[in-house]
Structure 1
Amino acid sequence: MTEKSPTLPPTSWAVLGLLSFGEELSGYDLKKWADSSLKFFYWSPSYSQIYSELKRLERAGYAVSRVELTESTRGKRVYTITGEGREAVTRWARDAPVEPPILKHGVMLRVWLGHLMEPEKLRAVIEQHRDYADKMRKLSAIDAEAAAEVSDWAYPEMVLRWSERHYESERDLAQHMLNDLDALAAQPRPQPTGGAYARLKKQLARTSGTRSRLK
């Protein structure tokens, strides 16, 4: 019988995962590493989040810390994964249920409300998102190249390559949406006329069988 992983929030597993590469790291180190890796596919933490998770992991016995003396008067606290912590994060990576990603796309929510916006403003929002996606594509490609130079980072490199393709797709989807806006501009601007939810219910009733098979 597979031993259950302890209940921790996903952010704890992310921080413990960074420590699982076997290095003694400070909160600053963890933040910098997360910003050049985790942020492309999962999480861009603040320093306060990093330190909060480190304290949680210490309380659970999954990490230990010590103060490393430096030239400054304060020194630097560094963290190391424990054997129990490595076992726990291994169980989580191997046995946690495969959960669907949660998509909360703020730009798409605003486009969904496009009837409330001027066409020029809506276009500017989508263009800004397209340019952001292209910037993230370029950054993830740079960090993937850096990871390729370290043999121990083969799997992080694989995820960074996925991130590069993801942002490339997101950029292209935004451009497709801009093309759709151009096509829509040639038609009368759609406006809600009331009764939209009643029409939606009829549509869902017609497609209920197909939707049930996909769940």
Structure 2
Amino acid sequence: MPRQDLPVTSYALLGLLTFGDELTGYELKQRADMTLRFYWVSPAMSQVYSELRRLTEAGLVRPTGEGRGTTYRITARGRRDLARWMKETPAGFPVLKHPVALRLLLGHLVDTEDTLAMLRAHLAALEEELSALRGVRESLRGADHDGEVFRHPALVADWGLDYLDAEREIVAGLVRRVEAGE
């Protein structure tokens, strides 16, 4: 059975160590910021270090060095536990925890122009995220073929691009509906 005492964030960080390199906690946080933020929560620096301690104590990662220069590498046991977690635990259904949706729900408390400004600001933020994710996706070109280590991250980037594109269309439609008084 997969370890029940590890949160999903531990498995996410463990997974980020499977691309063949050793990373410091800071580098792992940078990788999380460049990847996880598009589809999961990128953990705080303090959480990265607390999860690395937990993973080290469980024998799932091996630290090398001391202090700020300590690097971490996934162990064979870590790979087995991560693969077992992938195979044996259900992915679950995502919960939409969306701050724009929450504010739209409460839009009756403010002027229509305030609601429109919020939706338009979200459209601008979506454009920025799309641009950033396009850069990530482009960086995977050439290493994204079947059997390559970055094949699946490329698929996730493609999914993210489609998802953000769809959200952009949904929000643009909401702007039109609010403008029309629907």
With normalisation by structure 2, the TM-score equals: 0.92
Change over 3 Å in CA distance of 1:183–1:19 after alignment to 2? same
**Is the CA contact (8 Å cut-off) linking 1:38 and 1:44 kept in structure 2?**
yes
The alignment's C-alpha RMSD in Å is: 1.4
CA shift digits 1:133-180 (9 cap, x unpaired)? 121111111101101233420100110111111111111111100000
**Is the CA contact (8 Å cut-off) linking 1:144 and 1:160 kept in structure 2?**
yes
Structure with greater Cα Rg = 1
Instruction: Say whether residues 1:100 and 2:93 are aligned partners.
Output: yes
Match of 1:63 among 58, 61, 78: 61
Gaps of 5+ in 2: none
1:112: how far off?
1.0
What is the rounded CA distance, in whole Å, between the counterparts of 2:132 and 2:96 in structure 1? 22
**Is the CA contact (8 Å cut-off) linking 2:2 and 2:85 kept in structure 1?**
yes
Match of 2:138 among 145, 154, 171: 145
Give aligned pairs, total. Answer: 177
What is the rounded CA distance, in whole Å, between the counterparts of 1:104 and 1:94 in structure 2? 26
Match of 1:48 among 38, 46, 49: 46
Q: Which residue of 1 aligns with 2:160?
A: 163
Gaps of 5+ in 1: 69-73, 186-215
- SS at structure 2 position matched to 1:65: strand
Q: Which residue of 2 aligns with 1:174?
A: 171
Match of 2:105 among 112, 115, 119: 112
What is the rounded CA distance, in whole Å, between the counterparts of 2:42 and 2:163 in structure 1? 17
1:22: how far off?
2.4
Match of 2:81 among 73, 84, 88: 88
With normalisation by structure 1, the TM-score equals: 0.78
What is the rounded CA distance, in whole Å, between the counterparts of 1:87 and 1:96 in structure 2? 14
**Is the CA contact (8 Å cut-off) linking 1:67 and 1:76 kept in structure 2?**
yes
Percent sequence identity over aligned pairs: 36
- SS at structure 2 position matched to 1:44: coil
